[in-house]
Structure 1
Amino acid sequence: MEIKPTAETLELIARQAVEGFIIGLHKSPFHGFSVEFAEHRQYNPGDDLRHIDWRVYGRSERFFIKKHEEETNLRCCILLDTSSSMQFPDGGRWNKLQYGCLVAASLLQLLKRQLDATSLALFDESVYFTTECRSAGTHYRRLQQELARVFALEEKMRPSNIAQAIHQIADQVHRRSLVVVISDMVETQEELNDLFDALQHLRYNKHEVILVQVLSRKEEIEFAFENRPYEFVDLETGLHTRLQAGDLKDQYRRAMNEFRVAIENQCYKYNISRVEVDLEAPVDEVLHAFLLKRNKMQ
């Protein structure tokens, strides 16, 4: 039975999403990812045989070495956009902010399994909430509680400045980390240039970056509105505009496609992983991108 998404059920839904992902992962060509055995690493010739976990060998017929706590040293900062544009659409199963909370909560589940340390940062015009990077169980519970609070957020007229937020995190995070930025990234061309300047700041500081762009494919990419007048509202400024949807459709689609291609090209240029996710899709693609980056940093 499907669980209704609410602030109270967010952690449970995220846990189910991660468990389903891991089951699928072990049935796929990506079975080599170290997910099930968070406290282990694969055996390498020359390793002390006393450290082999024979119970794991009995289940998997593969040799794994028990890892000491200091070996599980990934540090991850999750940066979540909570501006008003993320509250679109209204009335669906998820809005973009709620789906972003699901992505963040699912990543927390994986990080917890891997014994990795994480921090959470929330921003609109600037970063207004941030935590230290820790791996304790109490720390993860605190972050899940904060995501549950954000999940229920309905405050309007909250503009965003993603570039400024990323610069703040780049200045605050001093040790090499994996930074996951979750946002719709609906920006003007000038703002987009500022965004990539900020992402270069992170890469210059030797951080790995995953850009998770959350969009509603039906409305924001396909522009699947009936050919009739609509009143469109800018959720960050409150500006109202009446338009005939059919007159705008082709022009909008071209502009949105150019915008998405520009982001993809810049991400490729600066070696940034970009994952575009639809509100109706599972979070598996984000979790795959996370594991690829995590393995790279080990």
Structure 2
Amino acid sequence: MLTPELLHALHNLPLAARQAAEGFLAGHHLSRRRGPGMEFSQYRPYQPGDDLRQLDWRLAARSDRYYLRESEVDTSLTVHLLLDASASMNHRDDNGLTKLDYARLLLAALAYLAQQQGDAVSLSVLHPAGLVHLPARADARQLPRIYQTLQNTTGTGRFPEAARLAPLLARRQRALTVCVSDLYEEQGEIQQLLTRLRAVAGEVLVLHLMAGNELHFTYRGAVTFQDLESGQTLQLNADDQRPGYQQQLQEWLRTTAHAARRQGFDYHQLTTTEPLDGALREFLRRRQATSL
């Protein structure tokens, strides 16, 4: 099993996504959407970026025109990927990965997996400077767009204000929304966004990302902590504070999970130290349930 550290060390997001998603390409469901399936349905003209494996070379030789053989494939789901790119996602774990590093790997793998399933995929990056949004597409050029956007994303500031996220709520298309976030918020702004998205688009899968060192509080002795979003600092003795910290953290995690499920979200907690397979399985499970 490839660890997130090894995937990150590749310094090649498309390759890392493909490696991570291998072995999870299952669970197709039937639809009437055209694509590179098994049963031939019709021809359409070639467009730049199309998969050349679907080109009908015999027809091209006879007519000097390029057409793709289209079929009816197992698809018809829109997958909407959300990335929390606030500054708290810059928190670095003991394995050297930040939450944002892990989130990039995970979302790239999910995008690859969704496209292999024939799904249309969109990506929205949420940060205070504004919303970066790639509309849902199922063509061969969408994955490179998603990879490039993820690679260019940096964590900064606080979670964006509701007014900046309004375009996400304007669409009324049925979708499976997958949000990767550490769920650090001031006044429930992340939960409010996901609640509204569930109302307009359907199912929401929340992948709650924690760093291993904050989950297990691996710090020792005198430590100075800094809030990555506000810049405030706090000096304390980690050994003295560990029992109280862990108790409060577990209470917060229970409350967060309960609130998410009460709102009708699928909730899954993961850490930056674990392989991506748990989140990928959760995605496929939710995808299959959504398509029924």
Asked if these proteins are the same fold (TM beyond 0.5), I'd say yes
- The one-letter code matched in structure 2 to 1:184 is D
Shift of 1:196: 2.7
Paired residues of 2:10 and 2:16 also in contact (CA < 8 A) = no
Shift of 1:255: 1.4
Q: Corresponding residue for 1:224?
A: 218
Shift of 1:80: 0.4
Secondary structure of 2:8's counterpart equals: coil
Counterpart pick for 1:215 among 210, 218, 221: 210
1:200 paired to 2:186: no
Shift of 1:117: 0.5
Q: Corresponding residue for 1:241?
A: 234
Provide the rounded CA distance (Å) in 1 between the counterparts of 2:208 and 2:164. Answer: 15
1:252 paired to 2:256: no
**Residues 187-225 of structure 1: per-residue CA shift (max 9 Å, x gap):** 34xx23x433332212222421011111112x2122121
Provide the rounded CA distance (Å) in 2 between the counterparts of 1:284 and 1:82. Answer: 22
Q: Corresponding residue for 1:117?
A: 120
Percent identity between matched residues is 26
Cα RMSD after superposing both structures: 2.8
Q: Using CA pairs under 8 Å that are at least 6 residues apart, name the structure with larger relative contact order, 1 or 2.
A: 2
- The one-letter code matched in structure 1 to 2:235 is R
- Structure-2 change in CA distance of 1:163 and 1:20 (3 Å): farther
User: Which blocks of at least 5 consecutive residues in structure 2 are unaligned?
Assistant: 32-37, 41-69
Once the two structures are superposed, the pairs formed by residues 65-84 of structure 1 within 5 Å of their partners are: 68=72, 72-84=75-87
- TM-score normalised by the chain length of structure 1: 0.75
Shift of 1:102: 0.6
Provide the rounded CA distance (Å) in 2 between the counterparts of 1:103 and 1:165. Answer: 27
Higher share in strand:
2
User: Which blocks of at least 5 consecutive residues in structure 1 are unaligned?
Assistant: 23-32, 43-49, 53-65
Provide the rounded CA distance (Å) in 2 between the counterparts of 1:147 and 1:41. Answer: 30
Shift of 1:234: 1.1
Once the two structures are superposed, the pairs formed by residues 1-298 of structure 1 within 5 Å of their partners are: 3=6, 5=8, 8-22=11-25, 33-34=26-27, 41=30, 68=72, 72-89=75-92, 92-125=95-128, 127-150=130-153, 153=154, 158-161=156-159, 164=162, 168=166, 170-188=168-186, 191-192=187-188, 194-217=189-212, 219-226=213-220, 228-298=221-291
Secondary structure of 2:136's counterpart equals: coil
Provide the rounded CA distance (Å) in 2 between the counterparts of 1:20 and 1:164. Answer: 38
Secondary structure of 1:143's counterpart equals: helix
Paired residues of 1:125 and 1:164 also in contact (CA < 8 A) = no
Q: Corresponding residue for 2:34?
A: none
Paired residues of 2:225 and 2:234 also in contact (CA < 8 A) = yes
Provide the rounded CA distance (Å) in 2 between the counterparts of 1:233 and 1:199. Answer: 28
**Residues 150-202 of structure 1: per-residue CA shift (max 9 Å, x gap):** 2xx3x6xx2222673895364133201111111111234xx23x433332212
**Pairs aligned (count):** 253
Provide the rounded CA distance (Å) in 2 between the counterparts of 1:115 and 1:136. Answer: 9
Shift of 1:90: 6.2
Paired residues of 1:80 and 1:123 also in contact (CA < 8 A) = yes
- Structure-2 change in CA distance of 1:268 and 1:289 (3 Å): same
Provide the rounded CA distance (Å) in 2 between the counterparts of 1:106 and 1:167. Answer: 25
- The one-letter code matched in structure 2 to 1:180 is V
The 10-residue stretch of structure 1 (242-251 or 177-186) with the greater mean CA deviation from structure 2:
242-251
- Structure-2 change in CA distance of 1:90 and 1:279 (3 Å): closer
Paired residues of 1:125 and 1:165 also in contact (CA < 8 A) = no
